[in-house]
Amino acid sequence: MMAPVRPVIVAGNWKMHTTPTEAAALARSIAVVIDEPTVTRVLCPPFVALGSVAGALVGTGVAVGAQNVHHEASGAHTGEISAAMLEGLATWVICGHSERRREACETDDLIGRKVARALEHGLRPILAVGETSDQRDAGDAARVVERQLEGAATALRAAGGDPTGPAAASLVVAYEPVWAIGTGRTAHGVDAAAMADLIRMTLASVGWASADDVPVLYGGSVTAASAAEFLAEPSLDGALVGGASLKPDEMAGIVARASLTARARSETAAARRTR
């Protein structure tokens, strides 16, 4: 049996931008220009805009994702959002974004518990991993990413989840080279592809379900101009887009390039089936 073709995914992280009204209008504008069903498209607005964006995207084929989720099911956690609260508003959720790790001091264990909650409630988690400049310069990049993935698997088991189970197969990983975000340093496609291979090898080593089939996205200041270099790499399956995801023209360019990758993969798979 041939391995399934990994989907090509473009997820936009709007961070702390847009009011609910602004978000709905922006979502409608973006949905029109990214009408590429060969690409899995996700928009992640702020919590307060999830409802308005979900309404704006009805019938477009564009999914809605949350930017974060709490690691507990419920309780005295003022200002937090549980996975159950996201049901009906979002079908995806970002876990462990570098800004959350830095600003909220989120640990690998905590992030793994967030992944567990997401899977428990049928949300598709995008687990963000990546190293800082200091970690990369010290030669620790691979070990940092391995530790982040191992921590997620350990925490998932501790929370009663099963990395080997079918639900875990919905995981998506986003590689964020923190050292290349807003620093003037540039990551290249070969850098990200090598890390994508390491990510799948590490997931396999901890027994993660269908590790070879886990999509890996690139998340380092992606733009329409830079997307082609990363989407040309067979090990990479799309992009987690930050600031550019607030610009319809940028998203149109990124998704258009992603669709070329998706079609090429589909055609290659079809050719193999006929041999």
- Catalytically active residues, by annotation: 97, 176
The conformation of residue 74, written as its DSSP 8-state character, comes to S
Give every CB contact of residue 214 below 8 A, 6+ residues apart in sequence.
6, 169, 171, 172, 173, 199, 200, 203, 208
Q: Which residues of 157-175 are buried (b: 16+ CB within 10 A; e: fewer)?
A: bebebebeeebbebbbbbb
DSSP code per residue over 122-156: T-EEEEEE---HHHHHTT-HHHHHHHHHHHHHHHH
29 burial via Cβ count (<10 Å: 0-12, 13-18, 19+): middle
Which conformational region is residue 209 in: left (phi greater than 0), alpha (psi within -120 to 50 degrees), or beta? beta
Contact criterion met (CB below 8 Å) for 21 and 42: no
Contact criterion met (CB below 8 Å) for 254 and 241: yes
> CA-CA distance, 237 to 195, in Å (whole number)?
13
Q: Is 270 helix (H, G, I), strand (E, B) or coil?
A: helix
Place of tokens 């307060």: 48
- Bridge partners of 94, per DSSP, are 126
How many other CB atoms are there within 10 angstroms of residue 100's CB atom?
Answer: 18
> CA-CA distance, 5 to 213, in Å (whole number)?
8
